[in-house]
Amino acid sequence: MIVLLTKQFIVAGTVTTPEAHPTLGLPFPFPCFPGQFRYCLSKRGKPAIEVGAHRFCFNGRAASGKVWWRCSRNPRCRAAVHTFGLRVVQMNSAHTCGVRATPLRPMF
């Protein structure tokens, strides 16, 4: 087992390579979404994940190891991220909480 230390959150996982396990150990294939995401802590110290400029909070874990994350702004928002291990495997970026899907660039 390897422990990876990120800026604010410690993630424990096993060493796997995507080439050796294209289905990520599940009986059905999972696509992997490349992108900028990082694990962090929420203001209350709970695990969270940031994808781009949006933050998602922990919502649950399946027996297979798949983890669900929901939009942290509103529990009714449909935006969600699913991870398996350290990979984002499914993403719904359609925010219904009033957040822009493409955030504005900072002026400065």
Confidence band, pLDDT 50/70/90 cuts, at residue 105: low
DSSP class of residue 103 equals P
Judged against a pLDDT cut of 70, whether residue 9 lies above it is answered with: no
The amino acid at 56: F
Structure tokens at 31: 């696509």
Q: Could you tell me the fold of the domain covering 31-101?
A: N-terminal domain of TfIIb (2.20.25)
Identify the helix (H) or strand (E) that includes residue 55: strand 54-61
Give residue-wise pLDDT tens across range 18-58. 343 344 454 445 455 556 788 888 888 888 888 877 888 99
**Nearest by Cα to 51 from 20, 19, 84, 91:** 91
Q: What are 41's strand-pairing partners?
A: 47
